[in-house]
Amino acid sequence: MARRISQGALREFLNCVPEPLHAQVVSRVIDIRRAKGRTLVEKDSRSTDVYFLVEGSAEVIVYSYNGREVYVHTIGEGDVFGEIAALDGKPRSASVIAIAELRAIEMHGEDFMACLKSSPAAGIWVARRLALGVRRLTDRLFELNALNVQTRIHCELLRLAESGKPCSEGVEVRPMPTHAELAKRIGTHREAVSREISALSKSNLIRHDRRKMVIIDLERLRRGAAAGAR
């Protein structure tokens, strides 16, 4: 019996691929799970597997020569990672570490490349994903170099809201990143994040505890980010 693939991003990709290759690739993908803190991809490793994230989230991290951790971006449900090494055959450019319990579908790099070679539509699908990644990194580069800490926090909270869930008070973000994690993401120190989060709480834009954050007034947060970027 043919194996069924119901996951969104993987299904979209494989729907671009003709039979019988489609069925062959589906029969070889691996369903994996990782606990928080586990590494999925190690920088400079020679693996070329491609991952389709189904549940949970992870951070893309690089390390300086003195061991300092440098945050690149967060990946979540529906994202694809690992495709760059599959495309150019070079060592991994970054590490990917789970920040919440996650589930992903692992596809062998050879199968991924066979799909691209078999179908222009599959190539366009991947190109669009890569273009989205470039846009995200361009936005982050601008924020880190042009915006103050307050506005960078506004921008990061808006990104968190994109993967949040509507609730009676606004948008719920769970799990709530620690202040240290937020500081790492926006290139500042924990004390600065704590001050700004406290100010947002007093202004009734957000409500939070250790487990979750509720963004109460998303529109005000957008206006604050837009004003700070001018």
Please give the torsion angle defined by the CA atoms of residues 71, 178, 68 and 229, in that order, rounded to the nearest 10 degrees: 50
| Phi, psi at 68, each rounded to 5° | -70, 135
Tell me the pTM.
0.85
Please give the pLDDT value at position 208. 86
118 Cβ contact list (under 8 Å, min separation 6): 17, 18, 21
Segment 29-44 mean pLDDT: 95
Sorted by where each starts, the structural domains of the chain and their CATH numbers stand as 8-144 (2.60.120.10), 147-228 (1.10.10.10)
Q: Which residue has the higher pLDDT, 211 or 15?
A: 15
Q: Six-digit token pair at 111?
A: 């199968």
Q: Which burial class, exposed, middle or buried, applies to 51 when counting CB atoms under 10 A from its CB (0-12, 13-18, 19+)?
A: buried
Per-residue pLDDT tens digits for 114-172: 999 999 999 999 999 999 999 999 999 999 999 999 999 999 999 999 888 999 889 99
Cα separations in angstroms, 25 against 20, 117, 146? 9, 13, 45
